[in-house]
Amino acid sequence: AGEEVSKDEL
């Protein structure tokens, strides 16, 4: 999940 969180950024 740690890697996924920043993918919600643009």
Summarize as ranges the residues that interact with other proteins (CB under 8 A). Answer: 1-3, 5-10
- Nearest approach in angstroms of CB 4 to other proteins is 9
* Cα 5 to Cα 2: distance, rounded to the nearest angstrom: 6
- Nearest approach in angstroms of CB 1 to other proteins is 5
Residues in the chain, total: 10
- Nearest approach in angstroms of CB 6 to other proteins is 4
* Cα 2 to Cα 8: distance, rounded to the nearest angstrom: 12
